[in-house]
């Protein structure tokens, strides 16, 4: 009986070590994509706050930072962007929402609407791929 308990405890310990190793390996493999999404969420929240408070320089700065994150997004999901037409379409919609063609004056006047467009582009992709 004692021998069976010892063997069961050793098997549980071995299973815990193996499970931990597998979990760490999986987490490392996806750390870049999670980091990109976390950074995008951070800057999107700051963009929203800047739009609500009317801080135009901060709004434009966060929009630029999100464009940089968009470039990182393409590096995080290269196969999806190259091979999945739906992902390609969603990513391009985000880029289009982030780009401003009318300059800072227009983006300041329409910060709330622009923020909604950017959020909608993010959510559309997340509905499809989360």
pLDDT, tens digit, 9 for 90 and up, residues 113-127: 889 999 999 998 888
In a domain, 11, yes or no: no
Rg (CA), the chain: 22
Q: Is the pTM of this model over 0.85?
A: no
Q: Are 107 and 60 in contact (CB under 8 A)?
A: yes
- CATH assignment at residue 110: 1.20.120
CA distance 47 to 79: 29
pLDDT, tens digit, 9 for 90 and up, residues 60-91: 899 999 999 998 888 888 888 888 888 888 88
CB 25: neighbour CB atoms within 10 A?
9
In a domain, 67, yes or no: yes
In a domain, 13, yes or no: no
In a domain, 104, yes or no: yes
pLDDT score of 104 more than 80: no
In a domain, 16, yes or no: no
CA distance 15 to 23: 12
- Give residue 39's domain range: 31-129
Total domain count, the chain: 1
pLDDT, tens digit, 9 for 90 and up, residues 30-48: 677 888 889 999 999 999 9
CB 63: neighbour CB atoms within 10 A?
23
Give the distance between the most distant pair of CA atoms in the chain. 79
Count Cα neighbours of 67 within 13 Å in the Cβ-side half-sphere: 11
In a domain, 4, yes or no: no
pLDDT, tens digit, 9 for 90 and up, residues 6-33: 887 777 887 877 777 676 666 556 677 8
């Amino acid at each position: 009986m004692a021998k069976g308990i010892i063997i069961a405890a050793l098997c549980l310990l071995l299973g815990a070590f193996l499970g931990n190793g597998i979990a760490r390996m999986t987490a490392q493999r996806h750390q870049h994509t999670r980091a990109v999404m976390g950074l995008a969420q951070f800057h999107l929240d700051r963009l929203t706050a800047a739009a609500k408070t009317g801080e135009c320089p901060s709004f434009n700065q966060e929009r630029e930072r999100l464009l940089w994150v968009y470039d990182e997004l393409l590096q995080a999901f290269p196969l999806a962007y190259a091979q999945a037409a739906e992902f390609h379409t969603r990513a391009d919609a985000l880029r289009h929402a982030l780009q401003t063609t009318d300059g800072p004056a227009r983006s300041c006047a329409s910060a709330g609407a622009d923020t909604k467009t950017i959020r909608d582009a993010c959510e559309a992709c997340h509905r499809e791929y989360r």
